[in-house]
Structure 1
Amino acid sequence: MAWYAKTKFHHIVDLTTWQLYPCLETLEKVEEQYRPTLFQLQHEHPRVIDWIPFPSLRDRLIRLHSANPQIDQIFCDVVSSYTVEACLADLVSEEPKTRVYIRVLDVAMGVANMGNKTIDPHTILPAPDAESLFSLPECAQAAFKLLNMDHGVTQYKLDPSFFGTYPELFDPEEDIVARGAPLRPNIQTRLPYPGRLDNLTFQTYRSFMEFHALALAPLQTSTEFI
């Protein structure tokens, strides 16, 4: 939930609204990258696929993995692979202007420890070394803001290693693979795969659904009124 809040994936609410109330009005509010393709509309598939912000990837997942019982794991691997391209010199002191890519999750988890504190990234960066970007909350927050990781998915790409694991999902015609050298911590965090439904997992889902319910309330009220 901390990762979800920090990256401000609130446009997922609009997608969920359209799934529950499919009509032109709700569809127009869906972020463009999440709007369903014709293939999505024509074929039944696990709804978790709709949450992936890359249309071509959604279509391939429907074609190749709709019946895969591990589809939730693939989804978690996709989200864990979100990256943003950057210039190394902007992030780390005394480094060349080399193109790098950095995973959103690696930075966002450090930002989660900052609470609501805001800082000017230009007063913190470039960091003294690459490790500081992940080990020091202030540096993580600065990189997070500098790279606009909280501005949604429009600039997100995927870590090339994802397609090493799932080569069948690669589409050479789509520019969604990050380019440059990887900039990563010594130990990378990945979103955990869904496990057994224990109390902690239940409370997480409940919190997530309550967050959506608040956003859906106005629409539900207007629908009931009509």
Structure 2
Amino acid sequence: MTGSLDGKVSIVTGGASGIGRATALMFAREGAAVVVADIDATGAARTAEEIAAQGGRSIAVTADVSAEADCVTVVETAVSTFGGLHVLFNNAGIIRRADAIGTSVEEWDRVMAVNVRSVFLMCKHAVPAMTSGGSIVNTGSGWGLKGGGNAISYCASKAAVVNMTRALAIDHAAAGIRVNSVNPGDTDTPMLREEARQLAEDWSAFAADAADRPMGRSGTPDEIAKAVLFLAGDAASYVTGTALVVDGGGLA
């Protein structure tokens, strides 16, 4: 690795597992201090401990990022512990696999809260802390750019993230803050396995269907993390407002 985030302070939401964990570890290897935020306190602590064991700087914060007070705490922790904030990766997310008829109002509201309101709230409180500019990366999805079956709340929420990213990029460019979204295809994470459970599908059959794309396989968390690292760092210094698709050719 190149140390491309040396001296930077970062926040990773949903950092307990999957893409969030892989990105937190990668940010740390690249020199960033990492605040690992997740509603899963044990998982967040485990990620922070892995970073420390590898010689990095990290702190875990238990947070429900759909709640404003928790978002304030996450940002304040970054600033008070590490002295500033330069990178925010809004990655926390959930999925409910159902159509409109099968989706309850409560499920709709929870998906929107975790997937959309959290991005708004984290940006609302992180942007003022990015006093020397910074980079924000939001996790969208291929299903934020096209439709998908039996996932109406998830598709709607990720489309909102993609366009909110564009609006944020316009609003905060003058402050030196870049905002982009990374849009993964099916990636072998605990959330993908949760999708199979919700659909009551055999994991092997579900995984085979998820791999039905030109490259013939699902992605790995590390592959998505590399794309996030690119968007977060100076290599993407002239990239803002973009929706980077990382899906093995699925949307193609």
Question: Quick check: which one's strand share is greater?
Answer: 2
Question: Could you say which structure has the greater relative contact order, defined with CA pairs below 8 angstroms and 6 or more residues apart?
Answer: 1
Q: Which has the larger radius of gyration?
A: 1
**TM tier, shorter chain?**
under 0.3
Q: TM-score, normalised by structure 1?
A: 0.26
Question: Quick check: which one's helix share is greater?
Answer: 1
